[in-house]
Amino acid sequence: MNALITSLIRAGFDPERIIPGAPMAQYTTFRVGGPADVLVHIASEQEVSITLHAAQEAGVPVTVIGNGSNLLVRDGGIRGLVMHMGQSFSDIARDGDTIRAQAGATMAAVAHFAQREGLDGLAEIAGIPGTIGGGAIMNAGAYGGELSQTVARVDAIAQRDGKPRHYEGAALGFAYRRSAMMDAGVIITGVTFKLRPGDPDAIAARIDELARARREKQPLEYPSAGSTFKRPTGLFAAKLIDDCGLRGLRVGDAQVSEKHTGFVVNLGSATASDILALMDEVKRRVLDQTGVALEPEVRIIGEDAPLKRPSDI
Ligand SMILES: Cc1cc2nc3c(=O)[nH]c(=O)nc-3n(C[C@H](O)[C@H](O)[C@H](O)COP(=O)(O)OP(=O)(O)OC[C@H]3O[C@@H](n4cnc5c(N)ncnc54)[C@H](O)[C@@H]3O)c2cc1C
């Protein structure tokens, strides 16, 4: 790992943006997860290519994260290099009725920028706590809006060869919480939105209304990764879980939210293994009682914590 860090610094990386042993709990909204061997805060497209190349030379695996709002990192952390697309890679600019943003811009920042510019189409995604890179790859959506409705183009870099890729129109391959970029092994660097003119006050009112609805329904007072399970075809995971009597079920400090049974929340000191054990128990009981097999919506990554040796206990 030291050779990798040295080659990144030689390539011009600011050492302050290279974090060895980065605690992933600080980079995920669930606030759990062990350390990454090294985490790099990306600041440009060129740095994505440089980092990929350096990691390949060092034979080190690469994981990409945005705001960590759909991630559950196991307690042993992540081996290899984590590319963090966040604040330092988040410029947003307008060109006519399009907006282009770098991958690390949050959906909230892009939606509020569009609102101030009098461009409509992003109010529904303003409350989703991820980046546009994470949002575009997952086709994030809420309240009848999803990124597929406004994304005109995605710029990316292929993990395999470090070369640029561009996706437009049908090639974006959007479906429910899916996109073509998901299977292509690419790192999204920028997203262009095509929007329509709108009244800034009306857009602001819609953003506020939806934020209120979220605060009323969702347990935003606790760390979580949003909906824990995917919506089974024609059903709602939250309703199935509630009907099975699992509201408030706990493993350690991991709990099926009392407020919204679709969310598992961290009451304070939950570990990733508490959350995973709770998810397994929920899946088991829902399957037993209803025959429906729930699938996780959250991406589970990283390694389990090493088992304690008898001498450690
Ligand atoms: C309170 C709460 C409410 C939520 N509500 C919603 C909702 O209403 N609708 C909804 O759709 N989601 C919701 N989510 C889930 C989450 O915000 C979205 O899935 C979001 O799109 C994840 O973006 P992120 O930047 O946090 O991605 P991360 O969680 O960091 O990563 C998610 C996946 O995307 C990949 N990824 C991230 N950035 C890139 C990139 N630049 N290039 C390639 N791959 C990348 C990662 O490798 C990972 O596989 C909610 C989460 C929370 C905590």
Of 129-138, 252-261, 303-312, the range with the lowest mean pLDDT is: 303-312
Q: What is the pLDDT of residues 44-98, one digit of tens each?
A: 999 999 999 999 999 999 999 999 999 999 999 999 999 999 999 999 999 999 9
Where residue 284 falls among pLDDT bands split at 50, 70, 90?
A: very high
User: Among 45, 62, 87, where does a domain finish?
Assistant: 87
Q: Is the pLDDT of residue 310 over 90?
A: no
Least confident residue range of 160-164, 197-201, 279-283: 160-164
pLDDT tens, residue by residue, 218-246: 999 999 999 999 999 999 999 999 999 99
**Could you tell me the CATH number of the domain that includes residue 185?**
3.30.465.10
189 and 226 together in one domain: no
Is residue 70 located within the same domain as residue 104?
no
Number of domains in the chain: 3
Residue 196 and residue 254 in one domain: no
pLDDT reading at 205 higher than 80: yes
Which of 39, 87, 138 for a ligand 1 pocket mutation test, highest count of atoms within 8 Å of Cβ? 138
Which ligand 1 atom sits closest to the C-alpha of 129?
17
Dist CA 248 CA 80 (whole Å): 36
> How high is the pLDDT of residue 312?
65
Query: pTM for the whole thing?
Result: 0.96
Looking at the CA of residue 63, tell me the nearest atom of ligand 1. 47
Q: What is the CATH number of the domain that holds 72?
A: 3.30.43.10
Q: Which of 79, 177, 214, 299 is catalytic?
A: 177
Q: Is the beta carbon of 66 within 6 A of some atom in ligand 1?
A: yes
- How far, CA to CA in Å, does 234 sit from each of 8, 231, 238? 48, 8, 13
pLDDT surpassing 90 at residue 211: yes
User: Do 153 and 128 fall within a single domain?
Assistant: yes
**CA atoms of 87 and 172, how far apart (whole Å):** 25
- Catalytic residue check, 45: no
Task: State residue 313's pLDDT score.
Answer: 60
Give dist(CA 263, CA 103) in Å, integer.
26
Instruction: Give the residue from 142, 170, 204 where a domain finishes.
Output: 204
Mean pLDDT of 205-230: 97
Counting atoms of ligand 1 from 1, which one is nearest the CA of 188? 42
Which tens digits make up the pLDDT trace of 110-139? 999 999 999 999 999 999 999 999 999 999
Q: Which residue has the tokens 């128990």?
A: 281
Q: Residue 47's closest CA among 132, 106, 104?
A: 104
Average pLDDT, the chain: 96
- Tell me which residue range forms the domain holding 147: 90-204
The answer, yes or no, to whether residue 263 has pLDDT greater than 80, is yes
